[in-house]
Structure 1
Amino acid sequence: MAVLASWVWVLAGCFSAAVAEISNISAPYPPLWEDSPEQLSDYRLEDGKHTIDPWVFTDRMGMYRILLKETATYFARYGPENEQNLLWGLPMMLGWQYQTGRLADPTGMTDCGNAHEDILCVSVDSWWADVNYYLSVLPFLAAVDSQKTGISPEQITILPPPKDQMRFCYNFSGCLSAFPKTMDKWKDFFQYMQLPSSDFDGLLKKFWDAHTSSLEYPISAFVDRYDYYSDSEANFVQKWAIAIYYLTVARLPTTLSRSYSFQSCLPPRILVDTDKAPFISDFTPLQNEVLIVLKLLGYTDRLSGSLTLTIWESLMSTKVARELFLKVFEKILGTSP
């Protein structure tokens, strides 16, 4: 229980740390947001198909920008200017990965993402990039099939990476065949938001269900990428993968301001072997604390056989409990969503 209490307060600290900064920022959008495609016609048209290269940062970010634009009308009742759209969490995390160098080639064998001329390159050797692929391409194709973009999914071409092509899917039919449960959950989310009877809590559940399903394959499939990182970064990757399930249970609203705030507690660069929390000098005290709590959470989860996750699920099993949990954040922030 002490571990879960620490987890709660670290999350609260993440939200409170950036409140002053948020109040001074009118649009804390992800990096290169305005340079990313806003509509499908902004992508290359080849043989009558819109060609998207998810191994180019702006192409991948553009899929999120289109989704945010096309779903804005359904979140208008929850707040102005699309701020309450739950999809914001996805491009914000991709932006954090880009800014911290986590989309670059971790092997150092290529200039992908590292050199100035290749700064937009997304490396297939990056664990973060590979996992995010399933949180960008799959929901995008599911949205297209749900008529969120007004065209047929057969009019979309997703380009493969330079290697390991068999570890990804590239069109709606291929992704549906390989990951039917995940594609169905994303379609369910997009279709539910169009119902007059939909509500915010229902959207949260369906969003996090689809999000979790998207991670099931890549988290286990790309463990070989750990070898490309320092032990410190590899350990952070593993603990972060565990923490995602705790965030899912809490159904945190991944709105624009909350997603932006959450990044303030995450490591601002790739970890190296000399990084030992809480003594990382160029990290904030909160960022150091997060690494400690993630390590403790991962250790306790493994030692208990995920009993702590079961307890957390029990604690967060009702809407009232989740709302009380969220009020901790809102009280610290001094604002309402």
Structure 2
Amino acid sequence: MTFHLLWACVIIGCIFVSLGRASNTPDVYPPLWKESPGQFSDYKVEDGKYIINIWHYLERLGTYKILLNKTAKYFEKFAPENEQNILWGLPVHHGWQYRTGRLADPTQRTNCGHESGDYLCISVDSWWADLNYYLSAMPFLAAVDSGIMGISSDNITFLPPSKDQTNFCYNVSSCYSSFPETMKKWNKFYQVFGVFFLVLPYPIFSHQINCIQSPLKSWLHSACLLYFQAN
């Protein structure tokens, strides 16, 4: 069943990318992509740890940018500028949520995420923001734990939201404690990266990756990765 669903993601991706090319719709980056952090040193440091406010749009977006930068070497053979990285689906989907106002406080009791207030704030009351948390925090922290990010697992801490703190995890150890199976799957995912995209020859995966990769349609990747995380 897993095999068929994963290939369904690939097939649907091919269809949407073909439609996108037919309409000459240009590929786009997430909003404020250039302004977001691109390396660990762009974040605050306290007691030797990088402190990331995952409830701030630019800082959460920055975790995706760093993840893409650190995994770029696996996709060098497929296309320039890291454009074929299958993880593009995560930040592009997050950018769509921001652009469409889905990260703002839906109760409107605060100005979090609203244009008239703190427009870069991510509201813990947003269902979209909470779900996206698990597609940002755990992939990022598992990548740190796997070793591909080049820093120690103890060097990253996420700031908690203003409420409902027990619903989330904030570093590698707490995420393993709260969501052990999901973290193990993401860790294994990164370990397999090297075998898939560095060892195996280009022709084996070039067609599939070219088929499904387009930043404009990368929310399909996000759906496939969400399925991977949940199963």
User: Normalization by structure 2: what TM-score?
Assistant: 0.80
> CA offset at residue 197 of structure 1?
3.5
| Structure 1 position 21 matched with structure 2 position 21 | no
Query: Which residue pairs with 1:150 in the alignment?
Result: 150
For CA contacts below 8 A with separation 6 or more, give which structure has more relative contact order: 2
Mapped pair 1:260 → 2:200: no
Q: Which residue of 2 aligns with 1:42?
A: 42
Which secondary structure state, in structure 2, belongs to the residue aligned with residue 78 of structure 1?
Answer: coil
Residues 90 and 218, structure 2, Cα contact 8 Å, conserved in 1 = no
In the aligned structure 1, how far is the partner of 2:159 from the partner of 2:127? 19
Q: C-alpha separation between the residues in 2 aligned to 1:202 and 1:114?
A: 46
Shift, 1:103, TM fit: 0.4
1:166 is aligned to: 166
Q: CA deviation at 1:18?
A: 3.1
Query: Which protein is bigger by CA-based radius of gyration?
Result: 1
Aligned pairs for 1:51-200 within 5 A? 51-195=51-195, 196-198=198-200
Q: Unaligned regions of 5+ residues in structure 2, if any? A: 1-8, 220-231
How far apart, in 1, do the equivalents of 2:212 and 2:137 lie?
19
Are the structure 2 counterparts of residues 194 and 12 from structure 1 closer, same or farther at C-alpha, using a change threshold of 3 Å? closer
Give % identity.
52
Give the count of matched residue pairs. 205
Please report the TM-score for the alignment, with normalisation by the length of structure 1: 0.56
CA separation of 1:10 and 1:193: change in aligned 2, threshold 3 A: closer
Aligned partners of 2:147, 2:122: CA distance in 1, in Å? Answer: 28
1:72–1:85: 8 Å Cα contact kept in structure 2? yes
Q: Report deviation, 1:261.
A: 3.3
Task: Give the letter aligned to residue 153 of structure 2.
Answer: P
Contact 1:74 1:194 in 2 (8 A): yes
- Structure 2 counterpart of 1:15, one-letter code: V
Judged with a 3 Å threshold, the aligned counterparts in structure 2 of structure 1 residues 83 and 252 are, in CA distance, closer, same or farther, namely closer
CA distance in 2, matches of 1:190, 1:201: 21
Q: Whole-Å Cα distance in 2 between the matches of residues 66 and 36 of structure 1?
A: 10
**What is the CA-CA distance between 1:188 and the residue it aligns to?**
1.0
Shift, 1:14, TM fit: 4.0
Tell me, yes or no, if the aligned pair for 2:88 and 2:218 is still in contact at 8 Å: no
User: In structure 2, what is the Cα distance between the partners aligned to 1:130 and 1:201?
Assistant: 38
Q: Tell whether the 8 Å contact from 1:15 to 1:262 is kept in structure 2 after alignment.
A: no
User: Structure 1, residues 72-116: CA drift from partner, whole Å, max 9, x if none?
Assistant: 011112222211101000000000000000000011111000144
CA distance in 2, matches of 1:66, 1:119: 23
Structure 1 unaligned regions, length at least 5: 1-6, 204-250, 264-337
Inter-partner Cα distance in structure 1 for 2:123 and 2:162 = 9
Deviations 1:279-328 (A, max 9, x none): xxxxxxxxxxxxxxxxxxxxxxxxxxxxxxxxxxxxxxxxxxxxxxxxxx
